[in-house]
């Protein structure tokens, strides 16, 4: 892509605030207040690019807290390339801190950021992402407004260790739950195990939703090459912050906007990369949401169509052995992209924030060392055909399953019948939300055995509200003690990206929206057929049609919960705000004066 010469003057969006010669009165009002903390008229009113720094770090967001320090290096990069940085805070989103779920906050943060980017004198923006939903919310907003934008992720924590073993954030919690239920550890050991997985600043060091989404941002072309996997504590992270700040100024000169990068082919690339790294199931609705705001039609069927046959290349927890630090040392996203391109599985010509394509970026990286224990080759992958598949039937119109999470034990128990391969039936045991599950899972009257299918409803965007990570349900303690650590699970909510359980997730429409899960009863037989991509309750058609729907919706606790429920769409549609996706490139319309 040709670079616009700086000798050729471009009228910047911020000049409508700070340099409007047709209305000096309005200019004076905007300008004078931005001078009161030390900025000068020369900086703001003479056509220098004004760069917003979307700061998502705070004490409420420990995964992103170090962004406060990284922003300093971003500012220095911006300054050194002739721009003027203006840092602003974002609504905090911390998956492990917010109740009832941080998924509520993704859309709230999106709406808030759109108003910031649209209503303030900002020519371009650095998106500081990290924990889970900070990445999609900011990319959604950047797509809506359409100003030049670049992602700077905060990076994963250093690898965790406990008594000599590699311990991954989040993933160890699910393992510890099993050990605790089996009576192998007590409460103090449980806490010690969990804490050992978080040895430094940064987000999850597993291939959970945080690292997955930041890898996807790089695959989309929205980050500088190699950005996603640099551990938060490494010196290369503030170096990347500086480079990102420096680059955004040039992007404004080039008028390189998200719509030029976030194309249909870019999203297909992201799906393929997501499969190859063993990405979190939460990436499915997040990427669909980003695509819809970018004007690209993307669905769960596209995840199946473009990703189901892609192999798993990255050997990282929760579906592998290693963690984020090892992934970075092994070559990170550039190494995976290079392997996919070599096999013709990724489009090398898609434009990125560098102003060049993926293949051009790789040609400039001469020192990629690839550790094949961590990032394997296409000829010897970790798993074949490891993507996400879309399922449907009388329980839902759409749901997803992460095939790479199917381990040998699960496959042997449920998917290895020679007369009916890749399919199984089971007796449904239905729970009305996580409280009901925790209260009753060990009730002997439920008669849960290895042929049961655990079903949880009331956990979607409407029912929870927000869709919570509660579908990864353990078997009763007695089964865990007998060595059965996983049962098939189905739910209309989400599952933590750090969990390796092969659950059927995001059932849409959810029970609270009239989906088939609301008609299911404990004792019904469910058939799951992965070949046909179907999940059905084996209930007589007339009986099924006559059944009353059952689901529980708790009362709203805040104004936003009520607003959210009134506007949110289903997870199959990305859980976006109804009507919001029609707004695109809103920067073309400068807001009216405030005085």
- For 324-383, the DSSP string reads HHHHHHTTHHHHHHHHHHHTT-S-TT-B-TTSSBHHHHHHT-------TTTB--SSS-SB
154: nearest Cα among 273, 238, 222, 86: 238
What integer pLDDT is reported at residue 280 of this predicted model?
97
Separation between Cα atoms, residue 586 and residue 142, nearest integer Å: 10
Output DSSP code: residue 446: G
Q: What is the mean pLDDT of residues 12-20?
A: 95
Residue recorded with tokens 């299911």: 520
Does residue 130 surpass a pLDDT of 50?
Answer: yes
Residue 86, strand partner residues: 52
What integer pLDDT is reported at residue 364 of this predicted model?
93
Instruction: Output the average pLDDT for the chain.
Output: 95
Dihedral Cα 482, 486, 491, 495, nearest 10 deg:
130
Strands (E), 373-488: 388-393, 396-402, 423-432, 452-457
Does residue 117 surpass a pLDDT of 60?
Answer: yes
Concatenating the DSSP letter of every residue in 563-574 gives: HHHHHBPPGGGT
Q: 472 pLDDT band (50/70/90 cuts)?
A: confident
Does residue 106 surpass a pLDDT of 70?
Answer: yes
Residues 402 and 506: beta-carbon distance below 8 Å? no
Q: Which of 11-15, 30-34, 161-165, 527-531 has the lowest mean pLDDT?
A: 161-165
Q: What is the mean pLDDT of residues 264-288?
A: 98
Separation between Cα atoms, residue 592 and residue 223, nearest integer Å: 33
283: nearest Cα among 295, 293, 271: 271
What integer pLDDT is reported at residue 6 of this predicted model?
52
Q: Please report, rounded to a whole number, the percentage of residues in the chain having pLDDT higher than 90.
A: 94
What integer pLDDT is reported at residue 1 of this predicted model?
35
Cβ partners under 8 Å of residue 572, min gap 6: 285, 288, 299, 300, 397, 398, 506, 508
Helix (H) or strand (E) holding 52: strand 50-55
Output DSSP code: residue 318: T
401: nearest Cα among 529, 294, 311: 529
The token duo for 461 is: 């965007």
Does residue 8 surpass a pLDDT of 80?
Answer: no
Residues 527 and 536: beta-carbon distance below 8 Å? yes
Cβ partners under 8 Å of residue 116, min gap 6: 52, 54, 88, 122
What integer pLDDT is reported at residue 3 of this predicted model?
40
Does residue 501 surpass a pLDDT of 60?
Answer: yes
Does residue 264 surpass a pLDDT of 90?
Answer: yes
- Which is it for strands 525-529 and 423-432: parallel, antiparallel or unpaired? antiparallel
491: nearest Cα among 474, 511, 514: 511
Does residue 282 surpass a pLDDT of 60?
Answer: yes
Q: 552 pLDDT band (50/70/90 cuts)?
A: confident
The token duo for 360 is: 């051009």
The token duo for 381 is: 């992958």
What integer pLDDT is reported at residue 165 of this predicted model?
87
**Secondary structure class of 128 (helix, strand, coil):** strand
302: nearest Cα among 348, 258, 266, 267: 267
Separation between Cα atoms, residue 376 and residue 386, nearest integer Å: 14
Residues 148 and 252: beta-carbon distance below 8 Å? yes
Q: Which of 55-59, 70-74, 179-183, 564-568 has the lowest mean pLDDT?
A: 179-183
Q: Please report, rounded to a whole number, the percentage of residues in the chain having pLDDT higher than 70.
A: 98
What integer pLDDT is reported at residue 292 of this predicted model?
98
Rounded to an integer, what is the distance from CA 167 to the centroid of its chain? 22
What integer pLDDT is reported at residue 367 of this predicted model?
77
Q: 369 pLDDT band (50/70/90 cuts)?
A: confident
Report phi then psi at 72, rounded to 5.
-60, -45
pLDDT digits (tens, 9 = 90+) for 504-522: 999 999 999 999 999 999 9
What integer pLDDT is reported at residue 9 of this predicted model?
60
Q: What is the mean pLDDT of residues 274-278?
A: 98
pLDDT digits (tens, 9 = 90+) for 231-241: 999 999 999 99
Separation between Cα atoms, residue 102 and residue 86, nearest integer Å: 27
Separation between Cα atoms, residue 226 and residue 232, nearest integer Å: 13
**Secondary structure class of 124 (helix, strand, coil):** strand
What integer pLDDT is reported at residue 389 of this predicted model?
98
Separation between Cα atoms, residue 546 and residue 172, nearest integer Å: 44
Q: How far apart are the first and last CA of the chain?
A: 40
Separation between Cα atoms, residue 429 and residue 450, nearest integer Å: 12
* Helices 209-220/264-277 angle, 10° precision: 140
What integer pLDDT is reported at residue 188 of this predicted model?
94
Residue 391, strand partner residues: 399
232: nearest Cα among 153, 300, 285, 171: 153
- Which residue pairs from 476-483 have beta carbons closer than 8 angstroms and sit at least 24 positions apart in sequence? 476/441, 476/442, 476/446, 476/448, 477/181, 477/182, 477/183, 477/442, 478/442, 479/448, 479/449, 479/450, 480/178, 480/181, 480/182, 481/181, 481/182, 481/183
pLDDT digits (tens, 9 = 90+) for 58-94: 999 999 999 999 999 999 999 999 999 999 999 999 9
């Amino acid at each position: 892509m040709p670079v616009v010469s700086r000798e050729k003057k471009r009228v910047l969006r911020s000049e409508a605030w700070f340099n409007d010669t047709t209305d000096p009165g309005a200019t004076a009002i905007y300008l004078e207040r931005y001078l009161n903390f030390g900025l000068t008229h020369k900086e703001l009113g003479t056509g220098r690019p004004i760069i917003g720094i979307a700061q998502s770090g705070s004490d409420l967001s420990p995964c992103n807290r170090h962004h406060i320090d990284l922003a300093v290096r971003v500012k220095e990069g911006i300054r050194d390339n002739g721009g003027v940085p203006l840092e602003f805070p974002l609504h905090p989103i911390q998956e492990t801190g917010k109740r009832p779920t941080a998924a509520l906050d993704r859309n709230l943060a999106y709406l808030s950021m759109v108003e910031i980017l649209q209503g303030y004198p900002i020519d371009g923006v650095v998106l500081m992402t990290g924990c889970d939903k900070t990445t999609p919310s900011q990319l959604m907003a950047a797509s809506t407004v359409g100003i030049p934008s670049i992602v700077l992720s905060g990076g994963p924590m250093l690898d965790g260790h406990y008594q000599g073993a590699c311990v991954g954030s989040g993933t160890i919690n699910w393992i510890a739950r099993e050990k605790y239920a089996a009576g192998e550890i007590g409460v103090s050991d449980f806490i010690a195990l969990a804490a050992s997985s978080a040895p430094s600043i940064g987000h999850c060091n597993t291939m959970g939703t945080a690292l997955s989404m930041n890898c996807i941002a790089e695959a989309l072309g929205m980050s500088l090459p190699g950005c996603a996997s640099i551990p938060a504590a490494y010196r290369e992270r503030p170096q990347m912050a500086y480079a990102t700040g420096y680059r955004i100024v040039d992007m404004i000169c080039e008028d390189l906007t998200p719509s030029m990068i976030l194309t249909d082919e870019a999203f297909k690339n992201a799906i393929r990369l997501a499969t190859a790294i063993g990405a979190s199931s939460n990436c499915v609705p997040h990427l669909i949401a980003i695509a819809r705001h970018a004007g690209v039609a993307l669905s769960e069927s596209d995840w199946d169509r473009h990703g189901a046959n892609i192999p798993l290349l990255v050997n990282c927890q929760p579906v592998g052995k290693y963690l984020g630090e090892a992934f970075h040392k092994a070559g990170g996203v550039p190494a995976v992209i290079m392997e996919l391109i070599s096999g013709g599985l990724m489009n090398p010509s898609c434009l990125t924030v560098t102003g060049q394509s993926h293949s051009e970026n790789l040609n400039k990286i001469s020192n990629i060392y690839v550790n094949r224990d961590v990032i394997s080759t296409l000829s010897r992958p970790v798993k074949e055909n490891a993507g996400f598949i879309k399922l449907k039937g009388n329980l839902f119109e759409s749901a997803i399953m992460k095939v790479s999470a199917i381990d040998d034990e699960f496959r042997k128990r449920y998917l290895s019948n020679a007369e009916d391969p890749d399919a199984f039936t089971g007796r449904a045991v239905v729970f009305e939300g996580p409280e009901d599950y925790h209260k009753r899972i060990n009730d002997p009257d439920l008669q849960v055995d290895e042929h049961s299918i655990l079903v949880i409803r009331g956990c979607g965007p409407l029912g929870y509200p927000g869709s919570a990570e509660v579908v990864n349900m353990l078997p009763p303690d007695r089964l865990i003690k007998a060595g059965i650590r996983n049962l098939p699970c189905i739910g209309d909510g989400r599952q933590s990206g750090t969990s390796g359980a092969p659950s059927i997730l995001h059932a849409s429409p959810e029970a609270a929206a009239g989906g088939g899960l609301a008609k299911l009863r404990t004792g019904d037989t469910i058939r799951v057929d992965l070949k046909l991509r179907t999940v059905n309750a084996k209930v007589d058609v007339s009986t099924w049609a006559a059944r009353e729907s059952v689901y529980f919706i708790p009362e709203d606790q805040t104004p936003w919960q009520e607003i959210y429920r009134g506007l949110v769409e289903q997870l199959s549609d990305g859980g976006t705000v109804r009507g919001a996706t029609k707004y695109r490139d809103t920067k073309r319309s400068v807001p009216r004066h405030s005085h």
